[in-house]
Amino acid sequence: MTEHKGIRTSKEYGITEYKIGLQDSDAMITIRLSRKGDSYVVTWLNPDISTNDFFSKAQTLVNSIKEAGNNFPLKRKMFSGLDYSLDADGKDLHEIDIEVFEPIEELGDASFARFNTPYGDFTWENWPGNKVLGVITHVNSPDELFQFIMDNSHPSAKDGLREILEDVGQKASQKMAESEKSGQKAS
């Protein structure tokens, strides 16, 4: 793993990983560019955010990305709507077919939840003593994602984040567009 301006980068099994901030602290943000390079995952900690607040803010982000028109929505997705579990083992999985998130009272007791949209999937995990938040996406909207993450994370984690989001967003968006085009030709 190499250090550069507070950013640690590693490449293992074809996955590029960036870590920003203090290791294992509330200020650490992890970004992973997928092996195929067509999507990326951003995860961070926030002990104070509720599931409904996080997904409501995610819906606002999705609306902003959609209105800007700079990114294409995925037409084929493995998951859609909202999935959540109230048990730590995830055996009581609830699935709700929604396109627009509206707060759900029961989510306050969730151990895991995932809100799936055509522009990205948002995850919320309730770990002992902390909440792990995540975005899995292909979009190239570094400013919007940067603001979303900053609004929902530790303020000291911002150094270098925007530049990495710009880099991985550009790569993932381009690769996913190529993949979508080749998928349409095969149909």
Backbone angles phi, psi at 57, to 5 degrees: -65, -35
Predicted local confidence at residue 185, as pLDDT:
64
Tens-place pLDDT, residues 140-156:
999 999 999 989 886 66
pLDDT of 123 strictly over 90:
yes
- The percent of residues above 70 in pLDDT, for the chain, comes to 86
Predicted local confidence at residue 4, as pLDDT:
41
Tens-place pLDDT, residues 29-38:
889 988 888 8
Predicted local confidence at residue 24, as pLDDT:
62
Backbone angles phi, psi at 84, to 5 degrees: -155, 160
Query: pTM above 0.75?
Result: yes
Q: Where is mean pLDDT largest: 19-23, 68-72, 74-78?
A: 68-72
pLDDT of 75 strictly over 50:
yes
Return mean pLDDT, the chain.
84
Query: Beta partners for 17?
Result: 10, 32
Predicted local confidence at residue 2, as pLDDT:
37
Tens-place pLDDT, residues 93-120:
888 989 899 999 888 888 999 999 999 9
